[in-house]
């Protein structure tokens, strides 16, 4: 039985950046770059890439086979069902949910989000439910029991496609489970920084930023480099006045 299983949801059919999960970043596909980082998280026992049963996602499976990473294929729109399928197969007790549009995910943040969950105070923890870390470092941790209850009770298509709103209680108009939710917060508000991979502009920015960083970089090293070249912050909203400023 695998106690803590990281599930990375990935598909090729992005609207704004088709095939984004396999675009080249620093000489390797984005998903490969991400997997190398996820595998360094000490809290994770096993990693599964959850993709669709569509032929368009065969290249995702081929990459994972080359890298020795397990895959699970399911319905394109019932992503919640896909996650339950992974739990059924692996016997996971705890799920770490990650998405392939976060190639810069920091393994230390995964471990910190899990550590908050592991205090036994919460059914769900995240570093993105309340945005303070840069967008693109998102991690969610929740119990397999919470996931199974969501699968049983969440019927609205929105809840099925986005996996955790029922657990988080973020859209009560569609249903909410009343779970205990914990939020991991950054030392300052960096929620205005955008490192998610969703558009061609995001890809160009991430490629340029990663080229400046050492192997095994941390998110703080990335932030330091980006603050010396502010266009690499990809600012999505005005930076708060309390944000750390780069020296002239």
Average pLDDT rounded to a whole number, residues 86-93: 97
Return the CATH class of domain 4-191: alpha beta
State residue 236's pLDDT score: 74
Average pLDDT rounded to a whole number, residues 144-158: 97
- Per residue in 96-137, pLDDT (tens digit) is 999 999 999 999 999 999 999 999 899 999 999 999 999 999
- Per residue in 58-76, pLDDT (tens digit) is 999 999 999 999 999 999 9
Contacts of 155 (CB under 8 A, 6+ apart): 175
Determine the Cα–Cα distance for residues 98 and 6; give it in Å rounded to an integer. Answer: 7
What pTM was computed for the model? Answer: 0.93
Q: Pseudo-torsion of CA 25, 16, 83, 216, nearest 10°?
A: 20
DSSP string, 98-116: EETT-TT--HHHHHHHHHH
* Every domain of the chain and the residues it spans: 4-191
Residue 242 binned pLDDT confidence (cut-offs 50, 70, 90): very low
**Other C-beta atoms within 10 Å of 238: how many?**
8
Residue 241 reports pLDDT greater than 50: no
């Amino acid at each position: 039985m695998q106690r803590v299983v990281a599930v990375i949801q990935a598909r090729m059919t992005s609207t704004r950046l088709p095939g984004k999960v396999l675009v080249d970043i620093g000489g390797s596909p984005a998903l490969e770059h991400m997997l190398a980082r996820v595998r360094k998280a000490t809290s994770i026992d096993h990693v599964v890439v959850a993709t669709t049963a569509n032929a368009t996602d065969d290249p995702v499976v081929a990459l994972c086979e080359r890298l020795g990473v397990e895959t699970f294929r399911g319905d394109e729109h019932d992503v919640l069902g896909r996650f339950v399928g992974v739990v059924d197969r692996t016997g996971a007790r705890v799920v770490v949910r990650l998405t392939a549009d976060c190639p810069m995910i920091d393994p230390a943040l995964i471990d910190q989000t899990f550590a908050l969950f592991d205090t036994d105070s919460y059914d769900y923890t995240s570093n993105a439910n309340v945005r303070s870390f840069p967008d693109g470092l998102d991690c969610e941790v929740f119990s397999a029991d919470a996931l199974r209850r969501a699968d049983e009770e969440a019927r609205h298509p929105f809840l099925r496609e986005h996996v955790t709103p029922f657990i988080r209680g973020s859209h009560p108009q569609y249903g909410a489970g009343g779970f205990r939710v914990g939020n991991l917060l950054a030392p300052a508000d960096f929620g205005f920084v955008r490192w998610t991979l969703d558009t061609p502009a995001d890809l160009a920015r991430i490629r340029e930023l990663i080229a400046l960083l050492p192997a095994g970089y941390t998110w703080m090293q990335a932030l330091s480099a980006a603050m010396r070249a502010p266009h690499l912050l990809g600012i999505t909203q005005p930076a708060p006045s309390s944000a750390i400023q780069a020296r002239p």
